[in-house]
Amino acid sequence: MKAEGLLSSKSYKILSNSPAETKGFGRSLAQLFRPGDVISLSWDLGAGKTTFVQGLAKGLGVQDRVTSPTFALIKEYQVRNSELENRNSKSPGLRLHHFDLYRLMSFEELYDLGYEEYFYGLGITVIEWGEKIAPLLPKVFLEIKITQQLSENVREIEIIPHGSRWDKLVHKWLKQNEAEQPKT
């Protein structure tokens, strides 16, 4: 996984050369999250969304098998990460809320689910196809766009921080990951 550099003051690109790298990206990014965070994911069909979320969940300490909630809209997983659980002292039992809004027909479906409890609660919320509900997203969140490139396994991952907290965290994370890559 190699950073392609700054696209603008609020957008970064990374190339992933395999599903394992995409999963590793999600796992590594998990260290940035804290209770109440929201991540919006958008990308082409088949671009690796489940693979990315599996890596993120592993990085958060989720032990259950992570699958796409396409037909259920949401799946929830128990986070087993002592550092994150300690940050969530207000409510024990930190959860990862995994939404897949590909089949969402209207905002009404989200209202019926009580989406505010997830988006503004103490869990960590991942929303696939988040662009479909852009007006409902919090002001501070992390947006990730993944597109499949010409090769079957190569993905372009664009990271778009919304809010100064995410801008600082993503910039620091990218610098740290560049420093950890072997020099050629």
Calculate the CA 54 to chain-centre distance: 10
Q: Which residue has the tokens 């088949």?
A: 46
User: pLDDT grade, residue 181 (50/70/90)?
Assistant: very low
Q: Indicate the pTM of the whole model.
A: 0.83
Range of the domain at 112: 2-180
For residue 52, what is the domain's CATH number?
3.40.50.300
The rounded distance, in Å, linking the Cα atoms of 56 and 14 is 16
Residues ≥6 apart with Cβ < 8 Å to 100 = 49, 68, 69, 70, 72, 73, 74, 128, 129
Cβ-contact 69, 98 below 8 angstroms: yes
Residue-wise pLDDT for 84-139, tens only, equals 555 545 556 789 999 999 889 999 999 998 999 999 988 999 999 999 999 999 99
Torsion of CA 140, 60, 40, 77, to 10 degrees: -120
What does residue 118 show for φ and ψ, rounded to 5 degrees?
A: -85, -50
The total number of structural domains that make up the chain? 1
Residue-wise pLDDT for 11-41, tens only, equals 889 888 888 998 999 999 998 999 999 999 9
Q: Which residue has the higher pLDDT, 69 or 157?
A: 157
